[in-house]
Amino acid sequence: MRFVPVRQTLASNPIEDVTAEVRRRLDAIGPPPQGEVAVTVGSRGICNLVEITRAAGDWLREHGATPFMVPCMGSHNGATAEGQREMIESLGCTEEATGMPIRSSMECVKVGEAPTGDVWMDRHCHESAGVLVINRVKLHTCFAGPVQSGLTKMMVVGMGKIQSAQTFHSTPTPQMKDMLLQMGKMLVDSGKVWAGLAILEDGYDQTAELHALPAEQILREEPKLLDKHREYFPSLPLDEIEVLIVNEVGKTFSGTGMDPNVIGRRGTSVEDVEHPLVGTIACLELVAASKGNAIGVGLADFITQRLRDAIDEYKTFVNVYTTGDMQRGKIPATLADDEEVFEKIRARYGEQRWVVVPNTLHLDRLWVSEDLSGEMAAHERCEVTGPPVELAFEGGRHNLAFGE
């Protein structure tokens, strides 16, 4: 079986000086509260996260505040204070790298009541003079609405730890978009949130835009930022794919390990997205930065034994159970290695319309089965960058490299 390498041209708009842009945006909203200011850090692999966080901390300090970091990630990494501290440190947000101390706790303070439960805020955030909420704005993996993943969700699910995550995810999926806004308003109205710093990434996972918003503007302005995000969002260049091989999955790429908006599958709790239509999905490896959390693996049909061996069942269970879609934590058919995955799928489904991607966040380089070379050459966003390569294996791993 032969594959051809493809380069996909995606939306590109990188900020040249991220630190300067952070300062410029924060300058525009005025001075921070005088006292301790909590700076949120989530669990996603966001481009320039350390630089953005450090720049925000430096700016706060220069303007009379005393900043500190708070891990804000709902039920992730076992829903423990130490686990969540380890998560942000694994992303590079250490005390040394950012110049700010970390205060990690699962203790929360109740700030309101929602139909499905109470609304909570991390104790350190609640006790601070104000909170600077930092997060990337993008499409959510479970629901559609004017506000999805971003500042509001960081306040509701991240800052509310496992308690608010359970309240939010207990909401029936069709009502999640309204519940997010309702819970977000309670947190803004609490007076504890000072401002938000929203990050938009382009199709190459580069920092494209930064937007600082006073707390009272977050709910109004975030839908506009989500619309901008849609202009950057990368997608697969085919509407119909017979076999999709995802090299790596994990929380650093998507809240569900691999983005349902890319693969076309969401799970049992919500309808799949219309495109692409993918017949079979196999995942080969769990990225180390996911710390064993394999949420979303149940969206695949096949995995390798090395991926299965990397799963921390408890961390995965806590995250899956909190979100409420148990399919995402189920273990697919497990095969020995890449070679057996390719062989078994090829024997059952043939050699047509295969796509191999590094993960669902980086889609500028991919491999397609040779039958798709003409379709890719004619595609407005794609370029075939080399001759067909015969599929081969060494040590159980395939030979299809993605380059820089």
Residue-level pLDDT at 94: 97
Rounded to the nearest integer, the mean pLDDT of the chain is 92
Q: Which domains does the chain have, with CATH numbers?
A: 2-9+235-398 (no CATH), 31-232 (3.40.50.11440)
Structure tokens, 136 = 């990337």
Q: Please give the pLDDT value at position 56.
A: 98
pLDDT at 273: 59
- Phi-psi region for residue 200, left (φ > 0), alpha (ψ -120 to 50) or beta? beta
| Cα gap 21→208, rounded to integer Å | 11
Q: What are phi and psi of 367, to 5 degrees?
A: -120, 140
Question: Which residues lie closer than 8 Å to 108 by C-beta, 6 or more apart?
Answer: 120, 121, 122, 123, 126, 160, 161, 163, 164
Do the Cβ atoms of 353 and 372 come closer than 8 Å?
yes
| Residue 220, C-beta contacts closer than 8 angstroms, at least 6 positions apart | none
Give whichever of 114-118, 271-275, 374-378 has the largest mean pLDDT: 374-378
Region class of 64: left (phi > 0), else alpha (psi between -120 and 50), else beta: left
Confidence of residue 45 (pLDDT cuts 50, 70, 90): confident
Confidence of residue 76 (pLDDT cuts 50, 70, 90): low
Closest CA to 104 of 122, 127, 77, 118: 122
Asked if pLDDT for residue 272 goes beyond 90, the answer is no
Q: Is 111 left (phi over 0), alpha (psi -120 to 50) or beta?
A: alpha
Handedness of CA 69, 73, 75, 77 (dihedral sign): negative
pLDDT band at 404 (very low <50, low <70, confident <90, very high): low
Q: What is the pLDDT of residues 33-42, one digit of tens each?
A: 999 999 999 9
Q: According to the model, what pLDDT value does residue 380 have?
A: 95
User: What are 146-201's pLDDT values in tens digits?
Assistant: 888 899 999 998 998 888 888 887 777 778 888 889 999 999 999 999 999 999 99
b/e 59-73 (16+ beta carbons within 10 angstroms → b):
bbeebebbbbbbbbb
Percent of the chain having pLDDT more than 90? 74
pLDDT of residue 362: 93
Summarised one tens digit per residue, pLDDT across range 112-148 is 888 878 889 999 999 999 999 999 999 877 777 888 8
**CA atoms within a 13 Å half-sphere pointing along the CA-CB vector of 342:** 22
Task: Give the tens place of pLDDT for each residue, 330-367.
Answer: 999 999 999 999 999 999 999 999 999 999 999 999 99
Helices (H), 42-175: 49-62, 81-90, 95-98, 123-127, 151-153, 161-169
